[in-house]
Amino acid sequence: MIVRDPGLPFLPGFPLGRVELARLCSLLLEALGLRGCRFDLRLVDDAGMAALNRKARGFPGPTNVLSFPSGEEPRKGAFLGDLVLSVETLAREAHLYGQEPTEHTARLLAHGLLHLAGLEHGETMDALTETAVEAAAGAFGRAFAQIP
């Protein structure tokens, strides 16, 4: 399920509609070998993310994505957990890193999904994230510049 916090702005060029996000999430799950798994995604602003980051991790300020694994083994039909994505941080980082908005969205979602599947930061996570982003880019075409 995809939930947008009330009052969250729609940003031009970002795949933040339900249809676009659902398609992107589906592509990423398949690319990561998690086809058939489920998760919930919540889109928030920086203020919402900062409050959640402080409560969940004890860190001040917003972050880009938070993962809350369910503890279920990643298998078909499993509920992996919850992801929370800060739309404002996403927009800022995409601009800062010179990435297409959809590419950066895919990167953050893939990273979060891998945490839900039990992976920790490191070379394996980085490689799998990039593989998933490339697979999604191939499906979306034109390096994510347009979403059909």
Annotation: binding site for Zn(2+)? 111, 115, 121
Calpha distance 125→139 (Å, rounded): 21
How many Å apart are CA 119 and CA 32, to the nearest integer?
12
Extended beta strands in the chain, E state: 2-4, 38-44, 65-69, 79-86
Q: Residue 64: phi, psi to the nearest 5?
A: -80, -45
Q: How far apart are CA 75 and CA 90, in angstroms?
A: 29
128: enclosing H helix or E strand = helix 123-140
Residues making up the annotated binding site are 111, 115, 121
